[in-house]
């Protein structure tokens, strides 16, 4: 169908070129009266030519058009959905059975580590706890005796100091136990162990495994990386010239791996600083999960900029010639030798954003957009007729 449409348009243009060329130059009839000179920006057609070219006119509109920005970026995750797992006291790896890509749930054991220091800290805690229980009993007893004027204030102060010191020591050891993953409340003298479990703080997928059985790991070593990909985000790079065109809440369409299927995201945060390369970052939440979407992937994205009310015409009403843009407007109707003619004036305009088949235009100063009748269909046929008028002899 497109081929036939093109051929039909070409035929119409060719016929109009012949008609316009034959009407150019001198008027038929009396050659001594001089020839009518048609201005450079005017095209005139007979009514039958207008009908043949299917030319239609319409009004200039005010519409809401949104521009788009094409950008690139990567798929990533928010900091709260990514975890680096270490062991604060280090140790030897006793066991692990995970590989990159394994699914884990929050609190699940990733590995078992052994360290003599684990035994020492448990022993120290239990001993401090027993001493604290004794100091607490002494403190309560001496406090009651002091109230009954049986005990001196100096002795009470000494007992109170010992009680508070033991309490602080027990609390400090409790925090150390929690730091290595041991619950102080469930620790007893018969349950001291040299092994502790390394647990995952979040649910997700294991991104990397950096240990093996028998390996000694230091407190600064990264044992595992776990990533939750249920909530992915886009990190997009924009140039500073587009800083005023994006804001939180704008929608994004993006593509991965040259796929034709598009995905959607919504901007939730824009960068507040310009980098050395004159770019800045924009972050967006991915709206729907996709099995093919993984952190680290590159994406091509289209940001739908904010809509504005602008002066616009159907895109087909704007023609290009010599790197300039024009529209045709109805000038006047007239008769020549009893035949009706219509004149159309060629007006240079500037183009703005394009959206939904309409294009923003900037009109020359003094042009009345409220009364003008613009050619909205057949503009390229008029341009062809104008460009070729006089090139053919009749």
Instruction: Kindly list the domain boundaries of the chain, sorted by start residue.
Output: 2-65+309-388, 68-80+228-306, 83-226
What values do phi and psi take at 48, rounded to 5? -70, -30
Q: Which residues of the chain have pLDDT under 70?
A: 1-36, 148-152, 306-307, 389-394
Which residues, in sequence order, are bridge partners of residue 278?
A: none
Q: What is the 3-state secondary structure (H, E, C) of 183-212?
A: CHHHCCHHHCCCEEEEECCCCEEEEEECCC
Distance set, CA 331 to CA 37, 82, 231, 374 (Å): 16, 67, 59, 10
Residue 151 has a pLDDT of 63
Burial of 117-130, coded b for 16+ CB within 10 Å and e otherwise, reads ebeebbebbbebbe
- Residues with Cβ within 8 Å of residue 154, at least 6 apart in sequence: none
Residue 186 has a pLDDT of 86
Q: Is 197 exposed, middle or buried (0-12, 13-18, 19+ CB in 10 A)?
A: middle
Residue 304 has a pLDDT of 77
Give pTM, 2 decimals: 0.60
Spatial CA neighbour of 254 closest among 309, 205, 185, 302: 302
Spatial CA neighbour of 179 closest among 88, 105, 102: 88
Residue 303 has a pLDDT of 87
CATH superfamily, with its number, for domain 68-80+228-306: Efflux pump adaptor protein, beta barrel domain (2.40.30.170)
Q: How many CB atoms lie within 10 A of CB 28?
A: 11
> Could you tell me whether strands 358-362 and 308-314 are parallel, antiparallel, or unpaired per DSSP bridges?
antiparallel
CATH architecture type of domain 83-226? Beta Barrel (2.40)
The class level of CATH for 2-65+309-388 reads mainly beta
């Amino acid at each position: 169908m497109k081929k036939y449409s093109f051929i039909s348009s070409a035929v119409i243009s060719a016929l109009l070129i012949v008609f316009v060329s034959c009407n150019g130059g001198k008027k038929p009839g009396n050659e001594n009266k001089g020839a009518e000179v048609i201005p450079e920006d005017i095209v005139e057609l007979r009514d039958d030519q207008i009908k043949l070219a299917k030319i239609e006119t319409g009004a200039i509109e005010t519409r809401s058009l949104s521009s788009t920005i094409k950008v690139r970026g990567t798929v990533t995750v928010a900091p709260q959905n990514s975890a680096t797992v270490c062991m604060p006291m280090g140790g030897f790896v006793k066991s692990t059975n995970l590989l990159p890509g394994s699914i884990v749930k929050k609190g699940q054991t990733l590995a078992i580590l052994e360290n003599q220091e684990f035994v020492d800290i448990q022993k120290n805690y239990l001993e401090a706890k027993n001493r604290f229980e004794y100091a607490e009993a002494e403190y309560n007893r001496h406090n009651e005796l002091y109230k009954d004027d049986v005990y001196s204030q100096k002795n009470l102060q000494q007992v109170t100091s010992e009680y508070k010191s033991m309490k602080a020591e027990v609390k400090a050891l409790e925090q150390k136990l929690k730091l290595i993953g041991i619950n102080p409340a469930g620790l007893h003298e018969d349950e001291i162990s040299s092994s502790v479990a390394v647990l995952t703080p979040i649910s997700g997928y294991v991104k990397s495994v950096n240990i093996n059985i028998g390996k000694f790991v230091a407190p600064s070593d990264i044992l595992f990386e776990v990533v939750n990909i249920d909530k992915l985000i886009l990190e997009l790079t924009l140039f500073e010239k587009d800083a005023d065109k994006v804001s939180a809440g704008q929608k994004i369409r993006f593509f991965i791996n040259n796929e034709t299927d598009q995905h959607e995201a919504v901007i939730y945060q824009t960068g507040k600083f310009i980098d050395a390369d004159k770019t800045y970052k924009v972050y967006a939440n991915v709206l729907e999960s996709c099995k093919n979407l993984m952190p680290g992937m590159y994406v091509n994205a289209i940001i739908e900029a904010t809509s504005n009310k602008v002066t616009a015409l159907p895109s087909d009403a704007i023609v290009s010639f010599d790197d300039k843009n024009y529209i045709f407007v109805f000038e006047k109707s007239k008769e020549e030798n009893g035949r009706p003619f219509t004149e159309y004036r060629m007006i240079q305009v500037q183009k703005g954003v394009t959206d939904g088949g309409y294009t923003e235009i900037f009109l020359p100063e003094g042009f009345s957009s409220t009364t003008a009748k613009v050619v909205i269909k057949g503009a390229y046929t008029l341009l062809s007729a104008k460009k070729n008028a006089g090139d053919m002899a009749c």
